[in-house]
Amino acid sequence: MDGGPVHLGARGEEWLWPPVETLLGSHDVAGLAVAVVREGEVVSRGFGVRDVRTGASVTPETMFHLASVSKPFVATAIVSLASARDAGGPVLDLDAPIVTWVPELTLADGREREVTARGLLSHSSGLPDVADYGWHDPQLGDDALSDLARSLSGWRLQSEPGSTFSYSNAGFELLGLLLSRVTGTTFEEAVRQQVLAPLGMRVSTFLRAEVPGHLAASPHVGRPLTVPEGAYPYTRRHAPSSTLHSNLVEMCRWMEAHLESAEGARLDPGLLDLVWRPAVPVGDPPWEEAAALGWFVGSYRGHRTLSHSGADPGFGSRLVLVPERRTGVVVLANSNTVPTSAIAVAALDVALADPALSVASGATPEELGEGVAAFQRLAAAEQAEHDMDDEELVNAVWGAIELHRTSLVWPLLRGWTALRPDSSAAWTMTGWAHQVDGHLDLARRLLRRALDLDPENDEAALILRNLPSTS
């Protein structure tokens, strides 16, 4: 048998699962779930815990909040309506003004009729992004999306529609409202009917109340990781952009449906061709070279990729498809401190390796791919290496601040600014925390300090710009 093809499961056991286990032991990680599909083969595993308070283990059935990985599902629902026909033609025209269905949308510059579903799906509508998600004050009624649409009346288009990529979560909230209006039901039920149920994703849901408590992963923020009491990244106001809950079992069905490897669960090739077609350049390789409709188009090891990532307070996710190799990877985490992209790269390297490279014959990580080797180095790193890394510290604190649970991270923020007074990121996060706590004058001073240290700090500039003006 030496030198023969190695099954995906054997590769995972040899090259992928051990460094993932090491990562959990050497980094501040709560739980993690990873699945790989390749030409009909499926391997998946859960690691760590879904809640540090109970120690309940993560399994392939554990339900995670997927954050922005929700968007390709919404895109599929919208485009399926555009592909369907009734007696008068297509049910939905992607290039028609959405105000036909969403009349409550008005803009300060009067350009609301230039906003189309196609522009929203490709993040090229010209709409800005959301500044405050309001996780601390969730809206749970059926009118949440309509209220969101009305709240945009003071906005203006920031670029010509169709000309420039500019990521906008608000655009997907409008798409959710459009989907609701066209189908005559709630957004969540429309996605269930259009996408989830036909693909056999019976547990997956955009409604948090439908997630079984014994399967739910809890969000973890701060350092050491803590479950923020009474706070969770959920509101129906931002359901279309963010609130899909799913697990490895059903995400594998989703990937297989795109890769045409699951009988009875395939998506129409014409629909896939439309949603995967590049619409506007992004210029962020390898994953985000261009935006398609609800997806990002990129390349890896010479193959086209379709992908999306997600990050909301206490959760992170990464989904990558390689259609030409009928391969896909999904990584789900219940903290923001997990390097989901690095894990996805390592998993892709394992799945895409030349079948002639037999584990039994002694292939090295480098032969299986640079991603595997890089991830193994990351997993083996001592925790102390990361304690003073700005990116790691940002990931540890931003979720708690966005959830308005600043008390969980004030000790970390104070230590960070004391030890790294030259860190623009430290003053940005500290200024944001003061803004959330209502200390607006202090927030302004600290955000200006962040900009003095780094004039290109767009995040500090955005927070400062959205602070209420002084009287």
pLDDT tens digit string along 59-79? 999 999 999 999 999 999 999
**Where are the alpha helices (H) located in 280-339, listed in sequence order?**
none
Cα distance between residue 176 and residue 183, in whole Å: 11
Contact 2/358 with Cβ under 8 angstroms?
yes
What is the arithmetic mean of pLDDT over 389-407? 95
Between 379 and 203, residue with greater pLDDT: 203
What is the arithmetic mean of pLDDT over 442-465? 96
What is the arithmetic mean of pLDDT over 399-421? 96
Cα distance between residue 403 and residue 344, in whole Å: 27
Cα distance between residue 63 and residue 449, in whole Å: 41
Q: Is 26 exposed, middle or buried (0-12, 13-18, 19+ CB in 10 A)?
A: middle
- Check whether 382 has a pLDDT greater than 70: no
Between 266 and 361, residue with greater pLDDT: 266
